[in-house]
Structure 1
Amino acid sequence: MHNTDMIIEPSGVRKRILAWGTSSARAWFLFACAGLLLGAVSIFFAQQIATRTALETLEQQGRADAGLKVALLRAVLERPRSLPLILSRDREVEEALRAPDAARIRELNRKLEDLVAGTSASVLYVIDMTGVAIAASNWREPSSFVGSDYAFRAYFSGAMQNGRAEHFALGNVSRRPGLYISHRVDDATGTPLGVVVVKAEFEQLESDWRDALRPTFVTDENGVVLITSIPSWRFMSLGVASQEVLNRVRSSRQFGEEMLLPLPILTGDRLGEHTRRVETALPGGTRDAFIEVSLPVPSTPWSLHFLLPVQPALPAAVRQAQMTALLILAPFLALIAFLIRRRQQVLARIATEQAARLELEKRVEARTLDLRQARDRLEAEIADHRSTEARLQGVQQELVQANRLAILGQVAAGVAHEINQPVATIRAYADNAKTFLDRQQLEPVSDNLSEIAGLTERIGTITQDLKALARKGRSAPKPVRVQDVLTGAVMLLKSRFAGRLEALVIDHPDPQLFVLGNRLRLEQVMINLLQNALEAIEMLPAGHVRVSASEDAETVILRVEDNGPGIEAEVLRQLFTPFNTSKEAGLGLGLVIAKDIVGDYGGSIDVDSSPTGTRFSVTLKRAKP
């Protein structure tokens, strides 16, 4: 006999699994190679695009910054240019050049000193026809220009020849660089008398450029650095200065003994008309890449050069582009990997199923004998099962009948509990009617009969509610006046608690206060709560029950409070469970039915009990009149 519980791995399945594993590894290897290649290509193109975009952005930024610096430099240049022109027409200057006595020279010195103090000029001085300074704003200082010979300066010869000149040079006395702006002084007949010169220095401008942390420098028409935010670059050249330029500079002593060494800047690709990529090493730093923007300075032969560092903007842009490319590529690769995985799973399942089917065919023959032998045993067991099933069906029918009787008992108990109060009231009204009939008082008899008819209608409503409790039915809610609910409930309690209703205190609510529900059903709720409260204080001489109502925009809360002994903890935990009661004659259905009625209209019942009293709070939805 074969053991049918043993699991044997078929040899065909093992072979197919090995073949599928080899094919799967090959597919994943090809996918990894393709993914790496595609990722490398994406990163490369993303780097190229990001580099081009970042450089274009930096170029635009550099143009804007350089334009602002050119405008500032031009404003700095324009301020001192008016001084030589004004002084060239000053009468005291003409008289001092025409007849340079000591008194006139002293007055002219003071005048020049005052003018410099009120302007941004560095030095103001007057030169006679021989090139000697006869008066200067710094006449009090040890480095005074007075008496110095400036005939060799280009700004002197240029002004004498052309009427005005501008020349940037290293100071012969002060050894400080600056722009010399000169204007010729003529008498009334146009005869030259001398030259007025103002020297403008750019220390403040260079300091502002240094604070901006962006290398900035100005070169003249020969490419020599004149103004710079990097002091060590001053009087260096954009390239190797020609011998002609060196000879001219040295003969005029424009830059002193400076050798005009080339700037440590390696030029790169040109990006635009005025921009190119360069590399340079700033003092105290390493070699970095920059974008150089060169713009002409209006009204001068100068050019302003602004270096905008490529770091860290370019690497950040490249990293962001590469990450974006990878994020875009990742879902695509994930989709391909999912499809490959899905295909491999399908192929593996097909291979496994085919191998299993072949092996199953072999095993079927071997297991047929076992099945035949098991068939005989099963036939015997089936006969036993049939007899057992017949007995089980009989027991089930008995349980169903018992359950029906239990439900019928619950409904009957609920009917007996809920109609007890209306029946007692009907009895009271019937006795009253009989008494009035004996007295031949027909009108009270008619009123009592009307009340009896209303109470019978209420009994019908209660029986319908009990049916609804079983099938979870619900009558349509409508606006009900709270005052009417309380009045109806108290009326039905008169016969049951005759002579004891003086313990009931009702804080009558607003007559226009309405809730959603059904009047008869809500009266049924209040009757249950009031009856429980009055029974709780029945043995207390000072017992009382208070009914009150509170409201807000959405809800109305009716509270029934008594000062009775409270509800036992064990009863309180199962207060709303059917047939749970602490009364000897109670059925334990009143609160269950009340909670079901309130729940039908979207409300709730809460209870708070202590040894000093109990409070039931009924929350209902507020309705408009």
Structure 2
Amino acid sequence: MSRRVFIILLYIIFTLATTWQVVTLTRDWTLRTLHQQGSDELLKVITQLRGALDQYRYLPFLISQDTDVKELMLGFTESKGDEVSLYLEQTNLVAGSSSLFVLNAHGKPIAYSHWRDERDFFLRLHQDQDYYRQALAGHRGRQFSLNAESQSPAYFLSSPIYDGKRFTGVAVVRIELEKLISQLRSFGVVLLSDENDQLFFSTGPFQRFSQLGTQIKSRQENLTDGITTELWEQSEGNWLVRGVSLDDLQWRVTLLQDLDVVQRNVRNASLFSFGGCIALGLMVLLFRERQLKIRSQNETREALAASEAQQKAIINNAQVGLLLIDSKGCITFANEMALQQFAASAPLLMHKPLLDLLSSEGVSPIQRLLSRLDHKGFSPLIGFEAVAVRGDGTEFPIMLSIRQMLALVERQYLVTIIDISRRKGLELQLKRANESLEHKVEERTQALQEAQDELVQAGKMAAIGRMSTAVVHELNQPLTAIRNYVAICRQMLQQPEMLSESLTEVDELTQRMAQITSQLKTFAYRKPEQMEKVSVQMAVNNALHLFRQRFIDDGFQVDLDLPEPTVYVLGDSARLEQVLLNLIKNALDAMQGFDHKQIAIQVDAVDDKVRVTVVDSGPGIDMDLLPDLFEPFVTSKSIGDGLGLGLSIVRSIVRDLNGEISAENQTGGGACFRVILPQSK
């Protein structure tokens, strides 16, 4: 027992030592790889940075050689300055720089690309700037500037302007580094700092416009190949550092590579090493166990032979057909029930392919399964329905299952066959009964739909009958007035002016009677059989056109909000316009007598719906009327001003168009009606 413990402890020490060595080598290799990748990536970043700056180097020289610019240097005029400023503005837009400007020999701006918006720029002097001094000395100037107040780094390029050999001014290009440097592409964190170690650009978690050294903790690490690498630590993470100073730009470019990959590789290497050692130990144990298993296999074979004999006895007494087939799909055993099902003797079935007992239709899955019996990954077939053929040639339906017999020495498969002739007959009868029932349900549904349509129309006609008293009252008033006016006309045949006034009153009364009958006709109108696409914008405009004179005469303010693309609904334009006319007329009537008369109509498309909203600045809807507002003969108007059918007609039309309508009072006063209809694409 003590010897076994000693071997286990010794192997554990070996495993730990091996894992430590692998971890050390993996960390060193990963750091060396990151160091090399960082050098390559840093070179690529510097190339991108210089390439981005070089695309603007030609601009100062191009401006200094322009004829108009040289003429401006010789004699400044305001018109000439504006002309050159316009040229700089256009050039700036094409080049994509931040700004362009021209300085005279004394460093004062006389032309500027942003001359329209920044006129105070012409009051600033630039004689103290390095880019002016370098150009004054006859060189192409460049200067990096970091504005601490606006926290905006900029880079200036300049070129002297000469008239012959006489210095006359400076052409300057200003480049916003924030926009330029943001185009850099790198898999690491890129930092840009000036010669004072002040950070002005970062793609990582560093605070710009502050000293870079105060934000990190740096340390050196020596690698096995003699390379010394620098590592930074910060609360946001750890990085491997590669950096270089650009003397001409007076910048330092730093590239940071995340050390997570080092930790990940170290973790994976430790797991691999430790797991490998454990696996090696397990393999030694498994080899020893294998020797023990070989000893027991002979005993197992003897037990399997006895089990096979017992299984055959059980199969012979089963109440379903059972067949045994070999890896080639040929029958090696059939029980008594299977012989009865196929009406054949045992010698006729032995060594016969299973497919010969089945009809050729619909056996493709069985063919694929039998062709793979001798392959690994066998998947059993359970409850497959097929058609079998008896010995006399007659067919009968069966349910077939094929499973592998795992306990046998040789690979064999158990085929279970159940005769389902009786079940198929019952299924056929049930199918016929279902089809008959579905047909009767369709007929009954159609009859109910027709009856429902008739009931809706009958309900409308019944409502018309209930309102007959109100209609008689509405019509009797204008008829009595017409008779009175006709009597007056007879007495005034000799006075044409008064006669014309009476006839005008008669005409207005007849129009009122026509309006009453029109409402009744619309209320009783059936839903149209066919729908077509209707433009909602056109329907709104047509409805508003009918009220244009009233808007002018009564001083109504109309706010219209229509979507830019045309939206459509299914319906007919006349009925949709009828809905809008009723809602607009009710809104106008409600605002009569108010000083502020405003109506707002908005159309918008939400998902697959179209919403039309009509809002007025009137007194709103009486809370007692709001629950029954859309019922026939419900109105807040006095007798003689309406039947109360308008909103009922509107609701009926909206429902026919498969839509919804609602009404509510606005918080600030006035009523809001909202119609929602399905959108037609």
| TM-score scaled by length of structure 1 | 0.45
How high is the TM-score relative to the length of structure 2? Answer: 0.41
Of structures 1 and 2, the one with the larger relative CO (CA 8 A, separation 6+) is: 1
Q: Which has the higher strand share?
A: 2
* Rg (Cα) greater in structure: 1
